[in-house]
């Protein structure tokens, strides 16, 4: 039976906290019946998430009788299931016989109450982040002629996944054999494969990234979704494990206009973008030649005029292609990847 998803975003139907829901309506709209947020009943995804058009926001489960899967549509720091959501989750399982899908660190399938309810109802609990990865990165067998482009950024939740998906889709439209490599819960829900790197045991994160590369390197170009940032005191290790595990030859550096403090650790100021570029290039070049080939701008908080001015400024500062893939379209970054691929000097040994 096809998925007909209802995204639970209760009290969090906005682009940042609700990024999982936002990206499901953006990329899997045909499978999304609506959102569930009793505080926003009657409004639409387009109004509140800036994407998803007229996808409706329901106030109760019963307003979406065709839904067969409840998706927890938020990705809070720490990945805990909000206590207030337990009632609706249990109701969806017990009364509506819905499957439930989540990408949190707290697993549905470790919760005795959810497990018991799903067993009685005969429904599935799908934990996107649950894994048992135990592969160590070895840097063996990596194809030198598969171009690995990795999106990195100055903070978490700034759109690295969106930039990766948009470039991959843009390359496919140009007839190139590109593949999006999902490394986080939302990307996995969209792509249907991938590994939730931030939930892998620390020793095996780079191994899990490498495993995905090895599995998909028959493609011409891989777009590897980045995580966190090298300056984020809580998640920098995930970022570095991924950078070293996926062994990219090219990076697309992403940032959000107006983001000043590290998400979740507001005492830490985000340094200038030029420092991020230097840090990522330094750490990647420890192992193979790698350079930033373009810049992904997230301009959702500013006007079109401000976004255009900032785009011109950042292009001048770095001498690199730069665009907001949602506002401007991804063509400039797609071109950058194609031109870099054609240069051919990235076929270095590992």
Pick the stretch among 45-53, 58-66, 266-274, 295-303 that binds its own copies (CB under 8 A).
266-274
Q: What angle do CA 14, 18, 22 make, to 5 degrees?
A: 90
> Would you count residue 82 as binding its own copies (CB under 8 A)?
no
Q: Select from 265, 304, 309, 316 the one that contacts its own copies (CB under 8 A).
A: 265
- Are residues 100 and 94 in contact, defined by beta-carbon separation less than 8 angstroms? no
Pick the stretch among 24-32, 196-204, 318-326, 338-346 that binds its own copies (CB under 8 A).
196-204
User: Of the two residues 86 and 139, which places its CB atom closer to its own copies in the complex?
Assistant: 139
- What kind and span of H or E run contains 277? helix 273-284
Q: What tokens does 169 get?
A: 């889709």
Pick the stretch among 3-11, 63-71, 277-285, 293-301 that binds its own copies (CB under 8 A).
277-285
Pick the stretch among 5-13, 75-83, 162-170, 187-195 that binds its own copies (CB under 8 A).
75-83
Pick the stretch among 39-47, 160-168, 282-290, 324-332 that binds its own copies (CB under 8 A).
282-290
> Would you count residue 79 as binding its own copies (CB under 8 A)?
yes
The interface with its own copies within residues 235-254 (CB under 8 A) comprises 235-242, 244-245, 247
User: Of the two residues 128 and 323, which places its CB atom closer to its own copies in the complex?
Assistant: 128
β-bridge partners, 222: 148, 179
Of the candidates 301, 228, 310, which has an alpha carbon nearest to the alpha carbon of residue 270?
A: 228
- What kind and span of H or E run contains 23? helix 19-27
User: Of the two residues 261 and 312, which places its CB atom closer to its own copies in the complex?
Assistant: 261
Q: What tokens does 290 get?
A: 């790698």
Q: What tokens does 265 get?
A: 């650790």
Compute the least distance from the CB of residue 112 to its own copies, in Å: 16
Q: What angle do CA 67, 71, 74 make, to 5 degrees?
A: 140
CB proximity list for 239: less than 8 A, separation 6 or greater: 152, 226, 227, 228, 229, 230, 232
- What kind and span of H or E run contains 5? strand 5-8
Of the candidates 218, 220, 222, which has an alpha carbon nearest to the alpha carbon of residue 191?
A: 222
- Are residues 208 and 135 in contact, defined by beta-carbon separation less than 8 angstroms? yes
- Are residues 268 and 233 in contact, defined by beta-carbon separation less than 8 angstroms? yes
The interface with its own copies within residues 101-140 (CB under 8 A) comprises 105, 134, 136-140
User: Of the two residues 242 and 337, which places its CB atom closer to its own copies in the complex?
Assistant: 242
> Would you count residue 206 as binding its own copies (CB under 8 A)?
yes
CA 345/CA 321 separation, integer angstroms:
19
Under rule CB under 8 A, how many of the chain's residues touch its own copies? 47
User: Of the two residues 44 and 131, which places its CB atom closer to its own copies in the complex?
Assistant: 131
User: Of the two residues 53 and 141, which places its CB atom closer to its own copies in the complex?
Assistant: 141
User: Of the two residues 248 and 330, which places its CB atom closer to its own copies in the complex?
Assistant: 248
Positions that interact with its own copies (CB under 8 A): 77-79, 105, 134, 136-140, 197-203, 205-207, 230-242, 244-245, 247, 264-265, 267-268, 271, 279, 282-283, 286-287, 350
């Amino acid at each position: 039976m096809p998925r007909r998803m209802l995204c639970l975003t209760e009290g969090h139907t906005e682009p940042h906290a609700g990024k999982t829901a936002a990206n499901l309506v953006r990329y899997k709209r045909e499978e999304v019946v609506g959102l569930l947020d009793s505080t926003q009943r009657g409004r639409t995804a387009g109004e509140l998430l800036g994407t998803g058009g007229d996808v409706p926001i329901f106030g109760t489960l019963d307003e979406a009788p065709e839904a067969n899967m409840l998706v927890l549509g938020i990705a809070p720091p720490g990945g805990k299931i909000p206590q207030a959501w337990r009632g609706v989750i249990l109701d969806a399982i017990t009364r509506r016989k819905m499957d439930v899908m989540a990408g949190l660190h707290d697993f549905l399938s470790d919760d005795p109450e959810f497990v018991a309810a799903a067993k009685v109802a005969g429904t599935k609990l799908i934990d996107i982040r649950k894994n048992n990865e135990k592969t160590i990165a070895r840097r063996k067998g990596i194809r030198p002629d598969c171009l690995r482009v990795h999106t990195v950024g100055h903070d978490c939740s700034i759109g690295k996944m969106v930039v990766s998906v948009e470039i991959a889709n843009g390359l496919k439209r140009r007839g190139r054999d590109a593949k999006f490599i999902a490394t986080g819960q939302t990307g996995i829900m969209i792509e249907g494969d991938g590994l939730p790197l931030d939930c892998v045991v620390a020793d095996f994160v780079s191994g899990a990234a490498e495993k995905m590369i090895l599995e998909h390197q028959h493609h011409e170009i891989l777009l590897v979704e980045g995580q966190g940032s090298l300056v984020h005191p809580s998640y920098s290790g995930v970022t570095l494990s991924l950078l070293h595990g996926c062994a990219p030859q090219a990076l697309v550096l992403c940032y959000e206009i107006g983001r000043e403090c590290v998400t979740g650790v507001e005492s830490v100021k985000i340094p200038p973008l030029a420092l991020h570029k230097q840090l990522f290039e330094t750490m990647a070049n420890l192992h193979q030649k790698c350079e930033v080939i373009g810049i992904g701008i997230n301009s959702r908080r500013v006007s079109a005029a401000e976004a255009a001015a900032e785009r011109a400024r950042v292009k001048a500062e770095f001498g690199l292609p730069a665009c907001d893939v949602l506002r401007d379209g991804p063509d400039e970054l797609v071109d950058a990847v194609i031109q870099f691929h054609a240069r051919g000097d990235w076929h270095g040994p590992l």
